[in-house]
Amino acid sequence: MTEATAPRPHLTDASEGMTYLDTASRRAVTVYVPLFLIMVVLIFPFYWMVLTAIKPDEQLIDLDTYNPFFVVNPTLKHINKLLFESNYPVWLWNTMYVSVLATALSLVASVLAAYAIVRIRYRGAQWVGAAIFLAYLVPPSILFIPLATIVQAYGLFDSPMALVLVYPTILIPFSTWLLMGYFKTIPYELEECALIDGASRMQILTKIILPLAVPGLISAGIFSLTLCWNEFIYALTFLSSTENKTVPVAIVSEFVDGDIYRWGSLMAGALLGSLPLVILYSFFVEHYVSAMTGAVKE
């Protein structure tokens, strides 16, 4: 048998499969260059947002004289005007108030639904889970018409409480599906032992399942909070007065006068509105990733 036809030995160690990255040129082509391009694509919108928020008005208008990708003599005028000459603090509070309450309500309902579908064995449980997830696929642009009729009938129009009650319709389906996948990773034998010892279903849920499912709860909570924070269609439909608006709707409606866009204030509002979510993700990103991978592998 010649050397060309001789069988190649199988790799005994996973690290041997990465030997093709030993040279600097291969690492640059397969790792560093793609990572650099991805970082540029992801970070550039935030760079442009920060740049626009601190640019003087003349640099925002005269793009022939000033380089649009850099700023000369940065100013905090737009941020100062946003915080002290508008209702932005009130809009930020409305956004936080609606997002936290809707997220808490959705998590409670999703935990109960996911546990019942996964752990309580009854005929058609999987079909119920699939039906709940299919409800998430219904576009909000279709649902806001019948929901507007219900909100108007209960006298909640132009009230943040309307969003608190409406947002769970788009949060509960996905959160339930996510928690179903995470609950399946918890051994069922733990519950069997607790049932033998006389524990009730509620005790099992609160003292065994929920402590073990903290990463899944954090992931579902972050997803729900982010969706509420950035939601636009329902907030635009159900809120009309300036003092009740949330940040996504307020900065678009209050800083656009016909065909005149106050880009400095718009970008400053978007920048400050995104900072709470950035801080939240920075603290819980590890739990978020672990819960998502746990749900997917199921």
Contact by Cβ (8 Å): 78, 53: yes
What is the predicted pLDDT for the residue at 291? 53
Neighbours of 101 (CB within 10 A): 18
What is the predicted pLDDT for the residue at 3? 47
What is the predicted pLDDT for the residue at 73? 86
pLDDT digit of tens for each residue in the chain (298 aa)?
454 455 555 544 555 555 656 677 777 777 788 889 999 998 998 898 999 898 888 888 877 788 888 888 888 888 888 888 889 999 999 999 999 999 999 999 999 988 888 888 777 777 887 788 787 788 877 887 888 888 888 888 889 999 999 999 889 988 888 888 888 888 888 888 888 888 888 888 888 888 888 888 888 898 899 999 999 989 988 988 988 999 999 988 888 777 777 888 889 988 888 888 888 888 777 666 655 555 444 4
What is the predicted pLDDT for the residue at 292? 54
Q: State both tokens at 56.
A: 């003087």
Nearest to 102 by CA among 281, 225, 249, 223: 225
What is the predicted pLDDT for the residue at 297? 46
Which contacts qualify for 248-256: CB closer than 8 Å, 24 or more apart?
Answer: 248/95, 248/273, 250/87, 250/88, 250/91, 251/88, 251/91, 254/86, 254/87
Q: Can you tell me whether residue 200 is helix, strand or coil? A: coil
CA distance 267 to 76: 12
Q: Whole-structure pTM over 0.85, yes or no?
A: no
Contact by Cβ (8 Å): 228, 175: no
What is the predicted pLDDT for the residue at 295? 47
Please state the domain extents for the chain.
14-53, 86-297
Neighbours of 161 (CB within 10 A): 14
Q: State both tokens at 32.
A: 């560093």
Sign of CA dihedral 19, 20, 21, 23: positive
How big is the CA angle at 186 (ends 217 and 121), to the nearest 5 degrees? Answer: 100
Contacts of 254 (CB under 8 A, 6+ apart): 86, 87, 242, 245
CA distance 290 to 297: 11
Cα dihedral 285, 290, 294, 295, rounded to 10, equals 0
What is the predicted pLDDT for the residue at 18? 57
What is the predicted pLDDT for the residue at 94? 94
What is the predicted pLDDT for the residue at 167? 93
Q: Which residues pair with 220 in a beta bridge?
A: none
What is the predicted pLDDT for the residue at 228? 92
Residue 157 backbone dihedrals phi, psi, to 5 degrees: -65, 140
Q: What CATH number matches the domain at 86-297, 3.40.50.150, 1.10.3720.10, 2.40.40.20, 1.20.200.10?
A: 1.10.3720.10
First to last CA, the chain: 46
